Amino acid sequence: MLYLLVLLLGLAIDQLTKWLIMSNLPLNGGFDVIFGLLRIHYVQNTGAAWSMFSENTLALAVFSLFVLVLLGVWFYKTPQAEIGQRLSLVVIMSGALGNMIDRFRLGYVVDFIQLPHWPVFNVADMLLCCGVAGLAFLLLKDEFKPKSEEAGHE
């Protein structure tokens, strides 16, 4: 139940913020939230990160669906005791689902958060990045633990 709640909450926040932007700003319109640091700027992204593959919106949407299925399988194969890993996967799925919905419904992804020297992004992108970072940390944390002295003398 927790996982479904996290998935739906992330998706709801993503879709609500995009709806608010589309309802209240003209395309390419925006305003400064923190001058020089954070700007709300409505753009339509037909590509993926950094507008890559911008001529292949449908292919990106279908690819997103494929990735969501793979993530769902990974989630269900992950032991229930691995709560952090399962939460990270759900956060990734929430972000992927948010952008996939945009691609299928609108033909583009609504991006609106702008930081200096960074592409414009959205809540779904933040969910994807946070989920991937959490998953990477959890999967790699044991790789960086110091080896015990006994293990070195075998």
Q: Could you list the pLDDT tens digit for every one of the 154 residues in the chain?
A: 899 999 999 999 999 999 999 999 999 999 999 998 999 999 999 876 666 666 777 788 888 899 999 999 999 999 999 999 999 999 999 999 999 999 999 999 999 999 999 999 999 999 999 999 999 999 998 787 777 655 555 5
32, 102, 111, 142: which one is catalytic?
111
142 flagged as catalytic: no
14, 32, 102, 125: which one is catalytic?
125
Cβ-contact 100, 68 below 8 angstroms = yes
- Cα–Cα distances (Å) from 4 to 10, 13, 115, 132, in that order, read 10, 14, 31, 18
Helices (H) and strands (E) in the chain, counts: 5, 3
- Cα–Cα distances (Å) from 61 to 54, 79, 103, 110, 148, in that order, read 12, 29, 6, 14, 47
SS3 category, 20: helix
32 flagged as catalytic: no
